[in-house]
């Protein structure tokens, strides 16, 4: 078996693009969103995003740590973290202010930003601290925190191995399944202006640490994994099949106790949900599917610009949802609105790709031209360098 986890593997970009398409469709209330809600079983787009981002971070930044130094690697990680934080704030604060201005006339906005509108000034003060997260604006804060601690996780793993870190992280996930999970849910529902979002950070950090470990160590896997991969893949395929049948109502309800759904909670990453997602990861690693690049190119375009596309889709989804709730539309019209939101992502990504191509192919000034430009502008001039493929969201 050949595992090919490369930061420039088009399949990884295509997978991120596919997740973006599903996410955009699900965030607009249409018949299409119901059809695409957790299509892969008891696992959602959020798990895929966090885990894939962690794998890429472990691969890229783990290699950077081994090839250079911890300060160099940490600086790169924190530059990316700062960018994601600024994007989050640039999306959240203007959108919240717009909702504040229009809420009395637009009921759907008032409902969506209900907690913010109850305590607007204190909520605005908490937003830069990531302590007030309205619906749809809670995945980037979690990503900022997880990416921000990544340099320390990588250096600890480099010194002591991943086993200890995975054990501590797994214990945190276990704690989140108990009383702490209830405590986080209470804060997520809104306690004054404090709103931590729906994702339980103590549970979801486990998914990040596992993905980080996978990305950092995949190139060092021993041969015995390859020898046993077929049997492991068969078990994973069986678990994936059971998850698909149960999620889409094709499994007889009388065969299991309905209380089992409590073990599939998304926000605390319930045990059976974790098993279902793990089965998908193992199946894809063993299967290692190879599709024609022409099939993958459209969604890979979205994946190459995942942060910008994610940021672009949020106001579109909120605007489309508001319009659908304000006016009476047939199911066909609502579905058409959802399709248009998804379709708008592609020209946006194409424009970003055009800008990226221009930046890469711009002629590099000669040293004399750089000096003249610097003197004329009163500042230092730097030659253009190729843009790097972003790792993570």
CB atoms < 10 A from the CB of 308, how many?
Answer: 17
For 264-324, give the DSSP string.
G-TTTT-HHHHHHHHHHHHHHHHH-----HHHHHHHHHHHHTHHHHHHHHHHHHHHHHHHH
Q: How far apart are CA 117 and CA 26, in angstroms?
A: 25
Instruction: Show me where the domains of the chain are located.
Output: 10-225+288-359
Per the listing, tokens 């390859």 go with: 226
- pTM of the full structure: 0.87
What is the three-class DSSP state of 328? Answer: coil
- The predicted-structure confidence for 3-33, as pLDDT tens digits, reads as follows 444 446 889 899 999 999 999 999 999 998 9
pLDDT digits over 257-311, tens only? 777 777 889 999 999 999 999 999 999 988 888 888 889 999 999 999 999 999 9
In the DSSP assignment, the letter for residue 386 is P
Q: Cβ(303)–Cβ(352) under 8 Å? A: no
Q: Where are the alpha helices (DSSP H) in 103-161?
A: 107-112, 114-118, 120-126, 139-148, 150-160
pLDDT by residue for the chain (393 residues), tens digit each?
Answer: 444 444 468 898 999 999 999 999 999 999 989 888 899 999 999 999 999 999 999 999 999 999 999 999 999 999 999 999 999 999 999 999 999 999 889 999 999 999 999 999 999 999 999 999 999 999 999 999 999 999 999 999 999 999 999 999 999 999 998 866 555 555 555 567 888 888 999 999 999 999 999 999 987 766 556 566 778 889 999 999 999 988 887 776 656 677 777 788 999 999 999 999 999 999 998 888 888 888 999 999 999 999 999 999 999 999 999 999 998 889 999 999 999 999 999 999 999 999 989 888 877 666 655 555 433 333 333 233 333 444 456
């Amino acid at each position: 078996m050949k595992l090919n986890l490369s930061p420039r593997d088009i399949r990884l970009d295509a997978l991120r693009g596919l997740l973006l398409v599903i996410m955009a469709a699900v965030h607009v209330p249409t018949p299409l969103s119901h059809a695409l809600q957790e299509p892969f079983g008891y696992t959602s787009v959020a798990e895929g995003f966090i885990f894939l981002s962690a794998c890429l971070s472990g691969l890229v930044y783990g290699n950077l740590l081994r090839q250079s130094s911890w300060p160099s690697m940490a600086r790169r990680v924190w530059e990316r973290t700062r960018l994601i934080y600024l994007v989050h704030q640039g999306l959240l604060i203007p959108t919240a202010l717009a909702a504040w201005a229009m809420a009395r006339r637009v009921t759907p906005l008032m409902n969506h930003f209900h907690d913010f509108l109850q305590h607007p000034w204190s909520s605005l003060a908490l937003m830069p601290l990531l302590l007030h997260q309205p619906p749809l604006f809670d995945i980037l804060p979690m990503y900022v925190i997880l990416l921000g601690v990544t340099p320390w996780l990588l250096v600890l793993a480099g010194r002591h191995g991943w086993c200890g870190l995975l054990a501590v992280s797994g214990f945190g996930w276990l704690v989140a399944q108990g009383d702490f999970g209830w405590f986080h849910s209470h804060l997520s529902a809104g306690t004054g202006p404090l709103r931590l979002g729906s994702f339980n950070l103590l549970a979801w950090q486990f998914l990040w640490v596992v993905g980080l470990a996978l990305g950092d160590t995949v190139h060092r896997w021993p041969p015995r994994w390859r020898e046993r991969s077929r049997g492991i893949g068969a078990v994973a395929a069986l678990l994936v099949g059971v998850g698909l049948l149960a999620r889409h109502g094709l499994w007889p309800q009388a065969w299991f106790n309905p209380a089992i759904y409590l073990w599939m909670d998304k926000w605390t990453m319930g045990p059976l949900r974790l098993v279902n997602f793990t089965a998908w990861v193992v199946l894809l690693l063993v299967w290692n599917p190879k599709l024609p690049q022409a099939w993958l190119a459209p969604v890979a375009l979205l994946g190459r610009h995942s942060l910008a596309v994610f940021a672009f889709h949020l106001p579109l989804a909120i605007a489309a949802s508001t319009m659908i709730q304000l006016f009476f539309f047939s199911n066909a019209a609502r579905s058409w609105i959802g399709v248009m939101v998804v379709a708008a992502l592609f020209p946006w990504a194409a424009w970003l790709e055009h800008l990226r191509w221009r930046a890469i192919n711009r002629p590099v000034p000669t040293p004399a031209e750089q000096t003249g430009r610097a003197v004329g502008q009163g500042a230092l001039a730097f030659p253009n360098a190729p843009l790097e493929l972003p790792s993570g969201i």
